[in-house]
Amino acid sequence: MANQENPGYSKSESSLDTDPVLTQSVRLDRVVELGLSPSFEDTARLCAQAYITFKSAEKSFKIAQKELRDYGSRYINIYNHSLHENIKTVKIPFRVKNSSEIKMIQVTNSSSYSINQDRIMAMQSHIGNDHFQLLFNLTRSKVHKPDFDASLISLISALFVKSGVNAAVQAEFFNDMNKLYTDSTTVSVTESYEQALLGMPGEIQKNLKNLVRRFEPALKFQI
């Protein structure tokens, strides 16, 4: 029966009667604790220890990573504010343990932001056009309305009903095409957003802090 259920099983390799891994096994409900195998326990031990080390290192890395990002971002902001620059990357040096060699970890402020577009647009007049243009880019486009397909068929059918496709009818048709679209505006930050924000009144800085969020800085390990 065992051979039929598991074609890869070979009685010459393992047996419930002779293999210590099986003869010393203990069944606990739907789980079987195998017997100790001296030839394999080093592998099992190595894997278990490596897993524990990995989980511990992962936790420590996440804490250090956040501190590193905050440190790098803070000095990027200080540098830009003091020298009116717009750099996005700093390299943080460290000495290799028990060595005089110096290596670097690079922190780059992301150029991607999460923007609350509706609230930003609603604040445009409050921020003022001059300030707004320094902070944000507006990209306007026309997009299809939800009922685009039905409206297009209706327009074309109406056109064919008309007697002849003369210039006036064509002009009317293309004018009616505007009914198929609705305006869409996309807001994105300008290249100099961070620097421009520093020069804005405190109230504007406070309001935008919750509406425009930079994604986490990227780390590059040169080790």
If asked whether residues 64 and 120 sit together in one domain, one would say no
Give the C-alpha separation, 128 to 21, whole Å: 77
If asked whether residues 120 and 184 sit together in one domain, one would say yes
Whether 29 is covered by a domain: the verdict is yes
Whether 101 is covered by a domain: the verdict is no
Give the C-alpha separation, 75 to 78, whole Å: 5
C-beta of residue 21 within 8 angstroms of C-beta of residue 35: yes
Residue 5: pLDDT band (50, 70, 90) is very low
Domain coverage including residue 175: 114-214
**DSSP H helix total and E strand total for the chain:** 10, 9
Whether 151 is covered by a domain: the verdict is yes
Closest residue by Cα to residue 212 from 143, 141, 142, 137: 137
Whether 185 is covered by a domain: the verdict is yes
If asked whether residues 120 and 50 sit together in one domain, one would say no
Q: Which range among 6-10, 59-63, 117-121, 192-196 shows the weakest confidence by mean pLDDT?
A: 6-10
Residue 33: pLDDT band (50, 70, 90) is very high
Q: Is the pLDDT assigned to residue 52 strictly greater than 90?
A: yes
If asked whether residues 67 and 122 sit together in one domain, one would say no
Per-residue pLDDT at 119 = 84
When computed from its CA atoms, the radius of gyration of the chain, rounded to whole angstroms, is 33
Q: How many domains does the chain have?
A: 2
Give the C-alpha separation, 6 to 23, whole Å: 19
If asked whether residues 60 and 120 sit together in one domain, one would say no
Percentage of the residues of the chain whose pLDDT score is greater than 90: 17
pLDDT in tens, 191-217: 778 778 888 888 888 888 878 877 777
If asked whether residues 208 and 143 sit together in one domain, one would say yes
Closest residue by Cα to residue 178 from 157, 155, 194, 161: 155
Phi, psi of 27 (to 5 degrees): -95, 130
If asked whether residues 184 and 125 sit together in one domain, one would say yes
- What is the signed CA dihedral for 171, 173, 174, 177, rounded to 10 degrees? 160
Whether 83 is covered by a domain: the verdict is no
Q: Which range among 14-23, 81-90, 173-182 shows the weakest confidence by mean pLDDT?
A: 173-182
| Residues linked to residue 82 through DSSP beta bridges, in sequence order | none
The continuous run of DSSP H or E covering 108 comes out as strand 102-108
Whether 96 is covered by a domain: the verdict is no
Q: Which range among 1-5, 122-126, 165-169 shows the weakest confidence by mean pLDDT?
A: 1-5
C-beta of residue 172 within 8 angstroms of C-beta of residue 131: no
